[in-house]
Amino acid sequence: MATSTYTSRTQFTLLLMGLSLASLNFASTTWAQNAPAQVLGDTNSGPNANNAPLTLTLQDALQRAKKINPEYRLAVTDFGLAKEDRVQSRAALLPNVNYNAAFLYTQGIGNTQSPRFIANNGVHEYLSQGNVHQDLSLVKVADYRRAAAAMAVARARAEIAARGLVVTVVRTYYGFVTAQQKYANTQRATTEAQRFLDVSQKLEHGGEVAHSDVIKAELQARQQERELQNAELEMNRSRLELAVLVFSDFNQNFTVVDDLQTPAPLPTLPEIQTLAGRNNPDLAAAMAAMRQASQEVKVAWYGFFPSLSLDYFYGIDANQFAVRAPDGARNLGYATAVSLQLPVWNWGASRSKVKQANLRRDLARVELSFTQRRLLANLQTFYDEAQTARSQMDSLNQSAELAAESLRLTTLRYQAGEATVLEVVDAQNTLTAARNAFNDGRARYSVAIADLQTLTGAF
């Protein structure tokens, strides 16, 4: 009887060892960081499920998002409008040419050619002449400089929007990648839990383990099934979020490329500080806003100064629409006009504009100082985050490998009767958590790099 029991226990032990080793043989290779990039497949059927899914890289997602993202397009539009404002303010500084044509009819006095209304030069007066007009005003000069500063502000804000969009796309893209990886991890954990349940039931039938082990194994299997449903739900949600961001037709039939195995290098802190000082759009926008506010002060003050306008006319201003009059005189000629405008009194409106401009300049100065301080703080914070995430990737990878090895050894101890079912279940949960933590850690580093590049630009 003892020999039969020993033989039965040996058979079940060999069966359990085979199942466990088959399911855990990936421990030395799955979590290597230098593995080639893999394409995560489409597990969600969409309207184009019968067609081949589109393979989407991160760069593809960025290019698509820039075309359809409303916040980014608004910033680009504002920059285009500001650029045209500068063109218009520059045109106001230059001479402009117009053509004037008019016919004035005045009631005559009897049969004479004298006009009844002395405001006109004759009963019939024809005007056909070109006009060159030039305004000379310090207000227009300052207004052009203000428009140039406003264009610089808009350009910097467009860059801010572009870098912010990159962070959004990176977070959403790798969120979907991580969700698919977690779904795959949960699938493996569910399969392992079901196998362990089957083995424990067979061991119970052979009298090797208590029924409580089977109950615990069944609870673990049911829990993993629920976790698998939650993982699928999260994967589908992240897919929809990415589809909204990058596809104008809300296409869901796509796959994404997992390039997290090759993390981007992290420059040194002095290099990051140099790049931030040269390429930071927030600082550029604050400095341009300060220049714009200073020019607004000048525009307000120049309202107290005189302005000059020049006009040159050449053409016909005569009683006949002809080059020559009936007596042979030439009707073609020219005239000039110079106007000088001196502001005298406007009930304090100019003084009020100066006060408004000074208030805006003071605010811009405070915002510039705050932007500089915030840049220093964010630069240190984002760099520390990226550095920490990068240093933890190797640790998380080792933890995943150790968790896989721990589950293998715990399973062997359970087969030998030296471990309890609770230890096996705990090892299974630890392995799943370690796998998910490693995937989260890789995505965290990529997002941290994107956050850091909002301050420095690409490196």
Q: Is 309 exposed, middle or buried (0-12, 13-18, 19+ CB in 10 A)?
A: middle
Range from 36-40, 135-139, 237-241 that averages highest in pLDDT: 237-241
pLDDT band at 15 (very low <50, low <70, confident <90, very high): very low
Which pLDDT value is given to residue 319? 85
CB 100 within 8 A of CB 337: no
Query: Could you read off the pLDDT of 252-267 as tens digits, one per residue?
Result: 999 999 988 888 899 9
Which pLDDT value is given to residue 116? 61
Strand, coil or helix: 148: helix
Range from 100-104, 325-329, 350-354, 413-417 that averages highest in pLDDT: 350-354
Q: Where are the alpha helices (DSSP H) in 39-137?
A: 58-68, 70-91
| pTM of the predicted protein model | 0.80
Q: What is the mean pLDDT of residues 305-318?
A: 93
Q: How far is CA 270 from CA 264, 367, 451, in A?
A: 18, 25, 17
> Which two three-digit tokens encode residue 14?
């060999």
Q: At what angle do helices 349-415 and 421-456 cross, to 10 degrees?
A: 150
> Which two three-digit tokens encode residue 54?
């589109």
pLDDT at 97 over 70: yes
Rounded to 5 degrees, φ, ψ at 232 are: -65, -40
Burial string for 13-41 (b: 16+ CB within 10 Å, else e) reads: beebeebbeebbeebeebbeeeeeeeebe
Which pLDDT value is given to residue 119? 64
pLDDT at 16 over 70: no
Lowest mean pLDDT among 106-110, 206-210, 281-285, 359-363: 106-110
The CATH superfamily of 2-456 is Outer membrane efflux proteins (OEP) (1.20.1600.10)
Give rounded-to-5 percent helix, strand, coil for the chain: 65, 15, 25
Q: What is the mean pLDDT of residues 439-446?
A: 94
pLDDT band at 436 (very low <50, low <70, confident <90, very high): very high
Side by side, the strands of the sheet bearing 124-136 are 96-105, 124-136, 307-318, 332-341
Q: What is the mean pLDDT of residues 282-296?
A: 95
pLDDT at 317 over 70: yes
pLDDT band at 229 (very low <50, low <70, confident <90, very high): very high
pLDDT at 331 over 80: yes
Lowest mean pLDDT among 41-55, 189-203, 232-246, 343-357: 41-55
Q: How far is CA 102 from the centre of its chain?
A: 56
Lowest mean pLDDT among 43-57, 229-243, 368-382, 408-422: 43-57
Q: What is the mean pLDDT of residues 141-160?
A: 95
DSSP-assigned states of every residue in 270-301: HHHHHHHHHH-HHHHHHHHHHHHHHHHHHHHH
Rounded to 5 degrees, φ, ψ at 357 are: -65, -40
Lowest mean pLDDT among 15-19, 245-249, 284-288, 381-385: 15-19
Residue 30, amino acid: T
Rounded to 5 degrees, φ, ψ at 315 are: 150, -145
pLDDT at 234 over 80: yes
Which pLDDT value is given to residue 17? 43
Which pLDDT value is given to residue 120? 67
- Tell me the torsion sign for CA atoms 342, 343, 345, 351: negative
Q: Return d(Cα 429, Cα 233) in angstroms, integer.
A: 20
Query: Could you read off the pLDDT of 52-93 as tens digits, one per residue?
Result: 889 999 999 999 999 999 999 999 999 999 999 999 999 999
Instruction: Please state, rounded to an integer, the average pLDDT across all residues of the chain.
Output: 86
Give the H or E element holding residue 50. Answer: none
Q: Where are the domains of the chain?
A: 2-456
pLDDT at 27 over 60: no
Which pLDDT value is given to residue 421? 87
pLDDT at 34 over 90: no
Strand, coil or helix: 319: coil
pLDDT at 425 over 60: yes
pLDDT at 28 over 70: no
Q: What is the mean pLDDT of residues 185-193?
A: 93
